[in-house]
Amino acid sequence: TQNQDAFTVRTLSDGHVLAVVCDGMGGARAGNVASSMTVELFGQKLENLSGDTNYRIGHNNHLVCISRI
């Protein structure tokens, strides 16, 4: 079977390091597409919010919390 998992690690413009792992639901149709899209869109959204002073990105080494201020 095909590995349907996806991941990314990138440094955001505010200096935070983003690591995202998505489980592709092995065996599900287009699971690799869904996990790849999720990783990319999540990264884009956080990058867009990282410079927005109306949002705060908090973290505790494993979990990211985005809150509107």
The whole-model pTM stands at 0.65
Please state, for a pLDDT cut of 70, what percent of the chain lies above it: 65
Euclidean distance between CA atoms 21 and 29, whole angstroms: 19
Q: Is the pLDDT of residue 39 over 80?
A: yes
Nearest CA to 8 among 48, 28, 35?
Answer: 35
Percentage of residues of the chain with pLDDT beyond 90: 1
Average pLDDT of the residues in 42-59: 72
pLDDT at 44 over 70: yes
> pLDDT-derived band of residue 5, with 50, 70 and 90 as boundaries?
confident
